[in-house]
């Protein structure tokens, strides 16, 4: 009986363990006055969920820096919208990475920002219906996650 309980627990935790063991591809930079809470763990988990939904190769995922900032900081960086995506490159190595700028509360924006990066990086051309369906599914999964780093 004890081994059955352990097996069931392992099967229930397997998706969480797989996400936790994936190579981090997202770094988070947050201004002290940015409203809302967000963690690098949540961003990485969301990126890998989106990649799985689109059947993308996880070892080819791009590196992404997410800037979660206030409107004041966004103005300094000439970011006019509440969500912006930029492609950048390291001057020495030429390695490319993406920047996702989240201005204000990150809720409902970070998933779309990561989705936009994947579409550009992998040259995806989903229909609006496909995009909406995948984003809704991933957002539902994200709502169910308890993240101690965010104080939830």
Residue range(s) defining the domain that contains residue 97: 22-147
Residues 45, 41: Cα–Cα separation, whole Å: 6
**Which pLDDT band, with edges at 50, 70 and 90, does 2 fall under?**
low
Is 136 within the bounds of a domain? yes
Q: Provide the whole-model pTM.
A: 0.80
pLDDT in tens, 56-93: 999 999 999 999 999 999 999 999 999 999 999 999 99
Is 132 within the bounds of a domain? yes
Distance (Å) of CA 88 to CA 51, 63, 64, 77, 100: 21, 10, 10, 14, 11
Q: What is the mean pLDDT of the chain?
A: 85
The reported pLDDT for the residue numbered 148 is: 52
Number of domains observed in the structure of the chain? 1
The reported pLDDT for the residue numbered 146 is: 58
Is 2 within the bounds of a domain? no
Q: What number is the average pLDDT over the span 89-115? A: 94
Place of tokens 């909406």: 132
Is 99 within the bounds of a domain? yes
What does the block give as tokens for 55?
Answer: 């059947």
The reported pLDDT for the residue numbered 23 is: 86
Residues 56, 113: Cα–Cα separation, whole Å: 17
Q: What CATH code is carried by the domain that includes residue 89? A: 3.40.390
**Which pLDDT band, with edges at 50, 70 and 90, does 1 fall under?**
low
- Percent with pLDDT over 70 in the chain: 81
Is 80 within the bounds of a domain? yes
Angle in degrees, 0-180, between the axes of helices 40-53 and 110-121, rounded to the nearest 10 = 50
Q: What number is the average pLDDT over the span 42-59? A: 96
Is 87 within the bounds of a domain? yes
Q: What number is the average pLDDT over the span 113-141? A: 96
């Amino acid at each position: 009986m004890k081994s059955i309980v352990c097996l069931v627990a392992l099967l229930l935790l397997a998706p969480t363990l797989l996400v936790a063991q994936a190579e981090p591809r997202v770094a988070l930079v947050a201004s002290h006055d940015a409203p809302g809470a967000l963690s690098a763990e949540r961003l990485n988990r969301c990126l890998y969920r989106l990649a799985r939904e689109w059947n993308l190769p996880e070892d080819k995922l791009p590196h992404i820096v997410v800037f979660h900032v206030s409107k004041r900081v966004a103005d300094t960086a000439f970011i006019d919208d509440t969500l912006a995506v930029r492609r950048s490159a390291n001057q020495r190595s030429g390695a490319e990475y993406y920047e996702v700028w989240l201005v204000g509360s990150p809720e409902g924006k970070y998933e779309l920002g990561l989705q936009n990066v994947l579409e550009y990086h992998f040259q995806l051309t989903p229909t609006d219906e496909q995009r909406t369906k995948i984003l809704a599914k991933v957002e539902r999964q994200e709502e169910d996650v308890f993240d101690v780093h965010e104080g939830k």
